[in-house]
Amino acid sequence: MQRFVAILPIIFLSTTLFSTEVTARNQIKVVGSSTVFPFSTIVAEKFGKSTKFKTPAIESTGSGGGMKLFCAGVGLTHPDVTNASRRMKAKEFELCNKNGVTATEFIVGNDGLAFSNNKNSKRFEISIMHIAAALAAKLPRTTGLEDNWLKTWEEVDQFVAGNVSSQALVGLPNIPIRVLVPPPTSGTRDAMSSLFMKSGHKKLGTYSDVGKKGAAKLREDGAAIEVGENDNLIIEKLAADGDLFGVFGYSFYDQNRDKVQASIIDGVALNFDNIASYKYPGARPLFTYVKREHLEVIPGIKEFFKEFISEKALSIDGYLYPAGLVPLSDNDFKKESAKLTSFPAVTIK
Partner 1 sequence: MGNGKTNTELIAKSLEKRHRRQTRLKYYGLFSILLGITFLIILLGSITLNGYTALQQTVVQISVNISPDKVFDDNGNISEEVMYNTNWDGLAKKAFRQEFPDVVDRKEKRKLSDLISSNAGYDIKWMVSQNPSIVGKETKLWVKTSDDVDQLLKGRLTVNVPEEQRRLSNSQLKWVKNLTDKGIIKKQFNTVFFTSADSREPESSGILGAIIGSAIAMVVTMALALPFAVMAAIYLEYFAKPGKWTDFIEVNINNLAAVPSIVFGLLGLAVFLNFFELPRSAPLVGGMVLSLMTLPTIIIASRAAIRAVPSSIRDAALSLGASKMQAAVDHVLPLASPGILTGTIIGMAQALGETAPLIMIGMVVFLVDIPTGFTDAATALPVQIYIWSDSAERAFYERSSLAIMILVLFLITMNLLAVLLRKKFEKKW
- Residue 113 in contact with residue 282, Cβ under 8 Å? yes
Reading phi first (left if > 0) and then psi (alpha if -120 to 50, else beta), residue 266 is in left
**Binding status of residue 116 toward partner 1 by CB under 8 A:** no
The correct pick among 25, 122, 237, 302 for binding partner 1 (CB under 8 A) is 25
CB of 123 to partner 1, least distance (A): 13
CB of 195 to partner 1, least distance (A): 21
User: Contact 251/325 with Cβ under 8 angstroms?
Assistant: yes
User: Interface with partner 1 includes 34 (CB under 8 A)?
Assistant: yes
For residues 280 and 265, is the Cβ–Cβ distance under 8 A?
Answer: yes
Residue 222 CA to residue 45 CA, distance in Å, equals 40
User: What is the 3-class SS of 168-201, one letter each residue?
Assistant: CCCCCCCCECCEEECCCCCHHHHHHHHHHHHHHH
Selected from 121, 152, 255, 337, the binder of partner 1 by CB under 8 A is 255
Based on the shown chain and the rule CB under 8 A, indicate whether residue 297 belongs to the binding site for partner 1.
no
Candidates 35-43, 125-133, 141-149, 340-348; binding stretch for partner 1 (CB under 8 A): 35-43
**Total residues at the site for partner 1 (CB under 8 A)?**
54
Residue from the set 94, 114, 257, 347 that interacts with partner 1 by CB under 8 A: 257
Rounded to a whole number of angstroms, the CA Rg of the chain reads 23
Asked if 13 touches partner 1 (CB under 8 A), the answer is yes
Instruction: Determine the interface stretch with partner 1 among 57-65, 171-179, 297-305, 336-344 (rule: CB under 8 A).
Output: 57-65
Q: Which is nearer to partner 1, 22 or 342 (CB)?
A: 22
One of 50, 120, 143, 166 touching partner 1 (CB under 8 A): 50
Task: Report the candidate in 302, 292, 270, 287 with the shortest Cα–Cα distance to residue 332.
Answer: 287
Residue 211: what are its φ and ψ, rounded to 5°? 85, 170
DSSP 208-239: HHHHHHHHHPBP-SSSEEE--S-HHHHHHHHH
Q: Which is nearer to partner 1, 262 or 290 (CB)?
A: 262
Out of 38, 64, 182, 282, name the contact with partner 1 by CB under 8 A: 38
Determine if 37 is a binding residue for partner 1 (CB under 8 A): yes
- Of 70, 68, 64, which is closest to residue 30 (Cα–Cα)? 70
CA distance 111 to 304: 22
118 binds partner 1 (CB under 8 A): no
Q: Tell whether residue 256 is a contact of partner 1 (CB under 8 A).
A: yes
Q: Which of 36, 44, 156, 286 touches partner 1 (CB under 8 A)?
A: 44
CA 52 – CA 331 distance, rounded (Å) = 32
Among residues 46 and 302, whose Cβ is nearest to partner 1? 46
Binding site for partner 1 (CB under 8 A): 1-2, 5-6, 8-9, 12-13, 16-17, 20, 22-23, 25, 27, 29, 31, 34, 37-38, 41-42, 44-45, 48-52, 54-55, 57-60, 76-77, 79, 119, 229-232, 251-252, 255-258, 317, 319, 322-324
